[in-house]
Homo-oligomer: A and B are copies of this chain.
């Protein structure tokens, strides 16, 4: 059959259920979709306008970042190694109050998109303010994003909901962005506001993105105030469903885990952020054993300090091995699943993205293995988690379009963005 693009490479990792590895294979793309993949002579069934032979490379689905605050890229490294309350109250929140406006969100969002493309992220789940300014960089960059309008009592309880509903209509048919509701957390949204948000989410069939049980303090405070854990409290409000994406979810007890499983709640696990802020280690092994859907998130660059999911993949495997005193805990394959098809499931997008499969959208990245730190290769999954760094991503394709070729980003002006960023000072 005729197609637009063929990508040939040494290791095709479709991230299908069997975790197939196709050696010396190819992926064929027509318009914005994958139309076939295979190995050897099967390539003769396709006549492509363009063939990119990436040689000694891994070809795999684009990564899915399930929790971030993209525009916080401008606050990368602003304050580190501090207690959470000092970090938030004396550094992050004052900086946000002073600097964050529509233009800031657009400019910092462009920096974030640039960084994510160069690190192989093709879809991200954003949570911030100024929805239009959040959406525009993603569209310009050619990345897919869920744009979560953050809602807090002290800030925008009514306007936030209105903004989300209005923008959702505006971007209804957009290929790249979808507007969703992001109540910040149970400690920043009253019961009344949570219920309002839920009602709108139900009426408009919108996903919800919220921080849940990130710190022990959040759980202790909730137990004192409501006699329930944050998960139990949200369940009582009937907020929990398979449309709810719970970021962090570090401090979950047995009952919380059962509730997550029964309601089909999706989890955005953020290993580096949880380590850096000393929040704790989420019960990842148990969540996966119970069949709870988990993806990986970087969180914002103020608490990571990059948007590089490869670092989070590695941190995820390492953290849970040492935390469980078990080197078999959380294998490389499980981690790569979380960063791709798992993330797609968290975002409710697994019918479209997250694996290389005929009929799915062509969101594909290639990773160059011709590097000293990647030689020799015994197992591509192991390399992805324990060796590959974001700089090894060579080509990025989203919706059938090559948005980075040989590390040159085609959709954004890297030089201009870096120059503009260096002009931003706090």
Q: Contact residues of A with B, CB < 8 Å?
A: 56, 73-74, 76-84, 87, 111, 114-115, 118-119, 272, 274-281, 304-308, 311, 314-315, 317-319, 321-322, 324-329, 331-332, 370-373, 375-379, 382-383, 386-387, 389-391, 414, 417-418, 421-422, 424-426
Contact = CB atoms under 8 A, between A and B. Distances in A.
Given A77-B379, A111-B372, A307-B373, 4 more contacts: A81-B332, A87-B327, A115-B372, A315-B318
A178 to B, nearest CB: 25
Contacts of A377: 77
B80 A387 contact: no
Contacts of A327: 81-84, 87, 276-278
As for how many copies of this chain the complex holds, the number is 2
Contact of A376 (B115, B329, B332, B425): B425
Given A56-B422, A78-B378, A329 B373 contact: no
Contacts of A56: 422
A368 to B, nearest CB: 11
B306 A386 contact: yes
A143 to B, nearest CB: 13
Contacts of A321: 275-278
B118 A373 contact: yes
A378 B77 contact: yes
Given A74-B376, A372-B414, A375-B418, A272 B387 contact: no
A375 B421 CA distance: 7
A104 to B, nearest CB: 12
B386 A77 contact: yes
A56 B324 CA distance: 42
A134 B421 CA distance: 45
Nearest to A377: B77
A387 B306 contact: yes
A269 B298 CA distance: 26
A314 B311 contact: yes
A367 B263 CA distance: 48
A60 to B, nearest CB: 16
Nearest to A108: B376
A83 B326 CA distance: 7
Contacts of A84: 327
Contacts of A306: 373, 386-387
Given A76-B376, A422-B375, A324 B278 contact: yes
Nearest to A383: B77
Given A82-B327, A308-B373, A327-B82, A322 B383 contact: no
A21 to B, nearest CB: 14
A270 to B, nearest CB: 12
